[in-house]
Chains A and B, each alone.
Chain A
């Protein structure tokens, strides 16, 4: 049945129609004399419509189409970390070996190295009862990450034999009483979510080291966030910052239909960056998927599924995983392109009518779960969105915003002022603070939520005052309002702005963030007192210690110095009042 052969009837770009076979939906087939990989996406009378993951020019009707009986799957096991794949899990270094620097076609490559041997340590013993998802042994996959080998889906029983030792990933390491043999590698069809016991409500923040994100619009571990913004507003830099500094244990980074050089940058940089949580290179915890804008669109469509499946696999080991997809709009466009070749009835702006359900299904694969093994794991998903002309009334932005719980709205105006990250603090939101506040109180400071509220209120007031300033100039405002403007300016320039390219400023831990926010509120309080006591706003604002406090954040050891800098500032403000 599965090696039944058919013929190509029609070719239109990445879409090929075959006759003479009756495959299942989403079955992988081999197309043409070169055996290009494709996936069945529509059955239509005696015709099977196939999206092909490689360039189709030069292929003719009449060439063969062969069924494989498999659905599009990824190989899961030791060897995923530090790897970079294309959209259908072909390792790019492997492709370079076989094709050179340009990606030609017709080459297959396993997602995992089947020869490589790993040190397997059994963690169950003969006679133990195991079932799918249970960890039966571990492998030190990278310096920092222990790979937990799990019983594959639909397998369970009593362990008959299990051995520690050095094996490749296809060798049997464990046999169950019923004869099932378990190796370190398993496969999973990418379009199906991997199973778990239950979802929990997220209640721990994913700490990113980015002040505006962590402090004002936090994401929870297992949560979802969308970052829409026009080109040049900072989607990629923000995603890369999260990939670098967030306190997830595993990072899956998907470059979906974007620039080649951006992936090269990650490849160059990550092996040299030190993870603040483990003090080891960040690359150890990272899996990359790069299906750039000029690579085949069908493989781009598949890339997000490949990525999320790998993320779920590590979640099932009990890890907190963060997945970034840059950009989900390019994924949606790939769907649109394929759909239009299928001559489907288009929905809004030519996107297929199922766009929003696909988006929802994708983000639904995020979450904090109880795994089959009973442990706690999570997948957080952060999707960049690239709205045409920066206008988020379009279908992909709207479809995303209906689902995600955090909206980091990038703003062209802020980017133009080089206010980075250019996240608009007035229209962005997070629905998580309520769920996380207890965690902040317990782990950072009892008044953390109150400080946050004060900061965001000040920004709110500033925006109202700005409207008046636009009409009359700031000198016309009463002195207390002028002070509010100065405090808000301090929030923006000292706290919200954060230079991703500065060695020190690129990352602030939550403690430091809290102290910086408190420093601003201290300034406000001291300045109020000084002015009430006859001090001049100009003098108060310009005390040198405040400049030191603000510039100090670019220097190493700031966290240790900040409280001294704050007391010095208070002292000087006090003195400025007496001078009058």
Chain B
């Protein structure tokens, strides 16, 4: 029922258009604006009443005037979905960007997405091996988790995300991941980097891309991730795919959110971001998971750059309150030339306990992870002390821990961009090797039975040489 065209615009403010109208318009309805030069812009109803309708225009309001025609399309925003999305590149509003044909829809899916009934969820507990030791050992990822990368400008978060996308696998399963990639306001250069890498490894055929770049309309970014997640849900829950959603950069998304809030003259929350940003972000992040009776899954890797490297900034802060942990990239490690510069101390995987251990990774995983963490944390703290009092003031234990911190960074964290370490031989055995630089009596987090079994110097019937 593509309805009547109105020419009743009264005000235009930032990305918002205000108009009077004659017939009822529904909340959330999609809108087309017909400009005098023949071009068309798209929008969505943000507020509706008998007297006034407020429309948010995705492509921005440049060239909109009082003569612009406005059509209400009688429906909320929907994405045509089908398996044919795989292998396609779409723009930030869901139109083909790869020169290919339109998607032949099997269904039209509402992009807002309904909440998963908490009673219908299934707990995520299948370990995903990323081949990156820092992640696999210390912040293990499981299928169905939402685990963001907290980074900052100039850091190699894209390399890490791509390495995860390339290497991620379930140990002992051939199920492959389908990647849904969602770009929000990133530069063309960053985008090309992603696309080339996906192409190089052949992953592109197994991916669906939704792309809004830095010079694309800012307000459109508010729908791009919703399109991507709608596609992900369709593939996961209608076609049993395991979907890995990478979206970047959440910071640009939040800026767009702030822009709309300001244009509506809303009372701002912290640092000018809207008070409902938590809820808005949750409507994206919570679209990860597993549900009863469906084989597929959605695992999310949102990437965000922390303004001013500040983890208490509202964007990382509100994200961290919703996601199931975070992987924090450190400028300090990056400057030391360590890749991947993952700071395991503020990093966390909340679902780790469910995904590791006997029968999943290895029986000693939890102990090893705790011990690595504790030793590195203490070693790192001692660096501060040494800077003041010098190494002479340290006792034997402290000296060993201090040295361990360096070993950990240079040998455990550091690996190359195509190095795919297996959890058992690659990561956990390496951890034992490195921990053997510390006297066993100081390794208080390790159970004796694991020491007996895995410690290179104590292993019963030492089989090395």
CB nearest neighbor in B for A92: B119
Contact status B267-A102, CB under 8 Å: no
Q: CB-CB < 8 A to A93: which residues of B?
A: 119
Bound CA–CA A503/B56 (angstroms): 53
Query: Residue B286 contacts which of A13, A231, A292 (CB distance < 8 angstroms)?
Result: A292
Query: Residue A340 contacts which of B275, B289, B374 (CB distance < 8 angstroms)?
Result: B275
1/0 contact trace for B3-29 toward A, CB 8 Å? 000000000000000000000111111
A50 to B: closest C-beta gap in Å: 13
A selection of 30 A-B contacts at a CB cut-off of 8 Å is: A11-B27, A56-B27, A56-B28, A57-B26, A57-B27, A60-B24, A60-B26, A61-B49, A92-B120, A99-B117, A101-B292, A102-B113, A102-B114, A231-B321, A261-B144, A261-B351, A265-B123, A292-B286, A297-B276, A336-B269, A340-B275, A350-B275, A388-B312, A389-B312, A389-B314, A472-B389, A473-B389, A473-B393, A476-B393, A501-B353
Query: Residue B117 contacts which of A59, A92, A265 (CB distance < 8 angstroms)?
Result: A92
Query: Residue A11 contacts which of B47, B121, B122, B287 (CB distance < 8 angstroms)?
Result: B47
Contact status B267-A418, CB under 8 Å: no
Contact status B269-A261, CB under 8 Å: no
Question: Nearest 9 pairs between A and B by C-beta?
Answer: A57-B28, A10-B49, A389-B312, A473-B393, A293-B282, A92-B119, A101-B120, A102-B114, A294-B286
Q: Does A195 contact B (CB under 8 A)?
A: no
- Which residues B324-343 have CB closer than 8 A to chain A? 324-326
Bound CA–CA A184/B17 (angstroms): 56
Q: CB-CB < 8 A to B62: which residues of A?
A: none
Q: Does A133 contact B (CB under 8 A)?
A: no
CB nearest neighbor in B for A266: B118
User: In the complex, which of the residues A11, A63, A261, A263 has the most CB atoms of chain B within 10 Å of its own CB atom?
Assistant: A261
Q: Does B36 contact A (CB under 8 A)?
A: no
Contact status A389-B385, CB under 8 Å: no
Q: CB-CB < 8 A to B114: which residues of A?
A: 55, 102-104
User: In the complex, which of the residues A100, A255, A391, A472 has the most CB atoms of chain B within 10 Å of its own CB atom?
Assistant: A100
CB nearest neighbor in B for A475: B393
Q: Does A427 contact B (CB under 8 A)?
A: no
Contact status A340-B267, CB under 8 Å: yes
Contact status A60-B115, CB under 8 Å: no
Bound CA–CA A12/B45 (angstroms): 9
Bound CA–CA A472/B394 (angstroms): 10
Q: Does A134 contact B (CB under 8 A)?
A: no
Q: CB-CB < 8 A to A58: which residues of B?
A: 26-29, 75-76
Known A84-B119, A260-B286, A293-B322; judge A350-B377 contact (CB<8 A).
no
1/0 contact trace for A338-349 toward B, CB 8 Å? 001000001001
Contact status B120-A96, CB under 8 Å: yes
Q: Does B104 contact A (CB under 8 A)?
A: no
1/0 contact trace for A57-72 toward B, CB 8 Å? 1111111000000000
CB nearest neighbor in A for B47: A12
Bound CA–CA A260/B119 (angstroms): 9
Known A57-B28, A260-B286; judge A389-B279 contact (CB<8 A).
no
Bound CA–CA A102/B117 (angstroms): 5
Bound CA–CA A340/B276 (angstroms): 10
Contact status A259-B322, CB under 8 Å: yes
Q: Does B180 contact A (CB under 8 A)?
A: no
Contact status B374-A418, CB under 8 Å: yes
Bound CA–CA A56/B113 (angstroms): 13
Bound CA–CA A390/B28 (angstroms): 35
Contact status B312-A391, CB under 8 Å: yes
Contact status B393-A60, CB under 8 Å: no
Q: Does A393 contact B (CB under 8 A)?
A: no
- Which residues B240-272 have CB closer than 8 A to chain A? 266-270
Q: CB-CB < 8 A to A294: which residues of B?
A: 115-116, 279, 282-283, 286-287
Contact status B50-A388, CB under 8 Å: no
Bound CA–CA A501/B117 (angstroms): 26
Contact status B24-A61, CB under 8 Å: yes
Contact status A337-B276, CB under 8 Å: yes
Known A11-B27, A58-B28, A471-B388; judge A96-B119 contact (CB<8 A).
yes
Bound CA–CA A390/B313 (angstroms): 11
Query: Residue B293 contacts which of A59, A61, A101, A292 (CB distance < 8 angstroms)?
Result: A101
User: In the complex, which of the residues A10, A346, A471 has the most CB atoms of chain B within 10 Å of its own CB atom?
Assistant: A10
Query: Residue B27 contacts which of A60, A265, A268, A290 (CB distance < 8 angstroms)?
Result: A60
Bound CA–CA A267/B292 (angstroms): 13
Contact status B49-A9, CB under 8 Å: yes
Contact status B317-A389, CB under 8 Å: yes
B155 to A: closest C-beta gap in Å: 20
Q: CB-CB < 8 A to B119: which residues of A?
A: 84, 92-93, 95-96, 263-264, 267, 290
Contact status A388-B270, CB under 8 Å: yes
Known A99-B117, A268-B123; judge A416-B346 contact (CB<8 A).
yes
A-B contact sample (8 more), CB < 8 A, given A92-B120, A261-B121, A297-B276: A11-B49, A58-B76, A92-B119, A104-B114, A232-B350, A263-B119, A267-B118, A336-B269
Q: Does A434 contact B (CB under 8 A)?
A: no
- Which residues B401-446 have CB closer than 8 A to chain A? 441, 444
Q: Does A417 contact B (CB under 8 A)?
A: yes
Q: CB-CB < 8 A to B314: which residues of A?
A: 388-389
Bound CA–CA A349/B275 (angstroms): 9
Q: CB-CB < 8 A to B216: which residues of A?
A: none
A236 to B: closest C-beta gap in Å: 9
Contact status B279-A470, CB under 8 Å: no
B421 to A: closest C-beta gap in Å: 23
B92 to A: closest C-beta gap in Å: 20
Bound CA–CA A383/B168 (angstroms): 38
Q: CB-CB < 8 A to A505: which residues of B?
A: none
CB nearest neighbor in A for B268: A350
Bound CA–CA A337/B283 (angstroms): 15
Q: Does A330 contact B (CB under 8 A)?
A: yes
Bound CA–CA A295/B279 (angstroms): 9
- Which residues B18-76 have CB closer than 8 A to chain A? 24-29, 46-50, 75-76
Known A57-B76, A255-B118, A389-B317; judge A416-B345 contact (CB<8 A).
yes
Q: Does A89 contact B (CB under 8 A)?
A: no
Q: CB-CB < 8 A to B159: which residues of A?
A: none
Bound CA–CA A10/B53 (angstroms): 9
Q: CB-CB < 8 A to B322: which residues of A?
A: 259, 293
A238 to B: closest C-beta gap in Å: 14
Q: Does B309 contact A (CB under 8 A)?
A: no
Q: Does B348 contact A (CB under 8 A)?
A: yes
Q: Does A333 contact B (CB under 8 A)?
A: yes
Q: Does A386 contact B (CB under 8 A)?
A: yes
CB nearest neighbor in B for A11: B27
Q: CB-CB < 8 A to A263: which residues of B?
A: 118-119, 121
- Which residues A390-415 have CB closer than 8 A to chain B? 390-391
Bound CA–CA A57/B389 (angstroms): 64
- Which residues A466-491 have CB closer than 8 A to chain B? 470-476
Q: Does A17 contact B (CB under 8 A)?
A: yes
B26 to A: closest C-beta gap in Å: 4
Contact status B325-A260, CB under 8 Å: no
A400 to B: closest C-beta gap in Å: 17
A286 to B: closest C-beta gap in Å: 14
Q: Does B171 contact A (CB under 8 A)?
A: no
Bound CA–CA A525/B275 (angstroms): 55
B12 to A: closest C-beta gap in Å: 19
Known A61-B49, A472-B393; judge A101-B377 contact (CB<8 A).
no
Bound CA–CA A297/B115 (angstroms): 12
CB nearest neighbor in B for A255: B118
B441 to A: closest C-beta gap in Å: 8
Q: Does B124 contact A (CB under 8 A)?
A: yes
Known A101-B116, A260-B286; judge A61-B124 contact (CB<8 A).
no
Query: Residue B275 contacts which of A62, A295, A333 (CB distance < 8 angstroms)?
Result: A333
Known A59-B26, A418-B377, A470-B385; judge A231-B112 contact (CB<8 A).
no
CB nearest neighbor in A for B144: A261
Q: CB-CB < 8 A to B320: which residues of A?
A: 230-232
Q: Does B454 contact A (CB under 8 A)?
A: no
Q: CB-CB < 8 A to B75: which residues of A?
A: 58
